[in-house]
Amino acid sequence: MSTQRLILATRNAHKVTELEAILADAGIDLELVGADAYPEVPDVKETGVTFAENALLKAHALAQATKLPAVADDSGLCVDVLGGAPGIFSARWAGRHGEDRANLELLLAQLSDIDTPHRAAHFECAAALALPDGTERVVAGQLRGTLRHAPAGSGGFGYDPILQPDGETRTCAELSAEEKNAISHRGKAFRALAPLVREALGLGC
């Protein structure tokens, strides 16, 4: 019997490798590919108002277009004193999608008069599984910490240089990839999703 294929709604090879390792650790044997394996399928607009809604939108769209099971995630930074913002707008907080430096600088400016004890924040990720028959599963993972007053570190991306995880003296951008993956919001969400993938796809124990 051929190995079952699962599609991850991303064109980021690092994300595919990360989920591949998590599924392998869980003893799940399947073929994982990114969305770039299906270039004819257009990217989905993230029109949801929560991370879970956006992840489900992407997973369902890919599952319907390919008739294969699909996984998607959506994530962002939630700042307590801002009522959870930037949240789903994290990647376009400064106005245009993906401008990491502008997003980070705008957020630091907005928090410039907020003292360290009140700079609690967390990264949040929702990971969703959708099957062609409409079956869906969604889970979440968080990485809590405190926002620094200035960026530190050259690793990671997005807001990594200013979030210092609880219990750490370094920012996410100062951690090694292995250290970050072990505690990251996306890693936690994908690890929580792995047994649901096994169950939904009937892959046994």
Catalogue the active-site residues. Answer: 74
135-155 burial, b if ≥16 CB within 10 A, otherwise e? ebbbbbbebbbbbbeebebeb
Output the CA angle 140-145-150, nearest 5 degrees. Answer: 130
What backbone phi and psi angles, to 5 degrees, belong to 200? -65, -30
**What secondary structure does DSSP assign to 26-55, as a single string?**
TT---EEEEGGG-TTSPPPP---SSHHHHH
Residues 6+ apart with CB under 8 A from 193: 71, 127, 128, 129, 137, 139
CB atoms within 10 A of CB 101: 10
**What are 156's two structure tokens?**
């990671």
Residues 6+ apart with CB under 8 A from 38: 7, 62, 65, 66
**Residues 165, 182 contacting (CB under 8 angstroms):** no
**Residues 83, 45 contacting (CB under 8 angstroms):** no
